[in-house]
Amino acid sequence: MRKLAITFLLALLPSVVLAAGPKLDLKPADVDLHDKAAMQRGAGYFINYCQGCHSMEFMRINRVAKDLDIPIEVAKAEMLIGTDKVGDPMRSNISAEQSEAWFGVTPPDLSLTSRLRGEDWIYNYLISFYRDPSAPSGWNNTIFENAAMPHVLSNLQGVQELDPESHELKLVSRGSKSDEYDQIARDITAFMVYAGEPSKADRQFYGIFVMIFLLIFFVLAYALKKEYWRDVH
């Protein structure tokens, strides 16, 4: 019994640690895992802007193409890097040594980031970069202070500055898709949420039927119990 209690406490430890951290005021990402068009767009932005440094070793290209209804010919043309094959994982095209030399740290694999951080955190991180001349990369982030990652999407969003008094972000230079950038951030977030648990939408769908079955079973079992004990008494 003591070992069981210790195991239970250890299982709760990560959530306790996260709960003890600073509370962030996050805008909702409103990810819809049934919106395949959004996830397709997010996959495209991820490949073009993120996969240069970040990998998704737990996701295979042909799995992404199948789940998101991307024709295999398009996947071969748009999603492969170098000598990759469609059955390979989504690897970055930069070595760990190169990335550490450039950024000071090795960019993490992003396969499970959505499960670690949550969809709201990812979305808010993507929209919260600002110009910071004192930072090594020239950029900083209000959600993840002193992040080593530069704002690789700045040509789309534009440049933001942080007001020292109100601590609010202000767009001071527009990018090529400033008006669309909020949706772009949501699309990338949607793709990363999908990648973190590809079967999540199916699990939620079938979970409804499981709960209905359990409810019906409970009613029948309770009625049977009442009938049985009525004869016993």
Strand 129-131 relative to strand 139-141, pairing:
antiparallel
pLDDT at 18: 43
pLDDT digits (tens, 9 = 90+) for 139-191: 999 999 999 899 999 999 999 999 999 989 999 999 999 999 999 999 999 99
Instruction: Give the C-alpha separation, 124 to 137, whole Å.
Output: 20
Q: Where are the alpha helices (DSSP H) in the chain?
A: 2-20, 36-45, 61-67, 72-78, 96-103, 113-117, 119-126, 154-157, 181-196, 200-232
pLDDT at 132: 97
Q: Where are the alpha helices (DSSP H) in 53-199?
A: 61-67, 72-78, 96-103, 113-117, 119-126, 154-157, 181-196
pLDDT digits (tens, 9 = 90+) for 192-201: 999 999 987 7
pLDDT at 23: 66
Paired with 171 in beta bridges are: 160
pLDDT at 118: 96
pLDDT at 7: 43
pLDDT digits (tens, 9 = 90+) for 76-130: 988 887 767 889 999 887 877 777 777 778 889 999 999 999 999 999 999 999 9
DSSP-derived 3-state class of residue 63 = helix
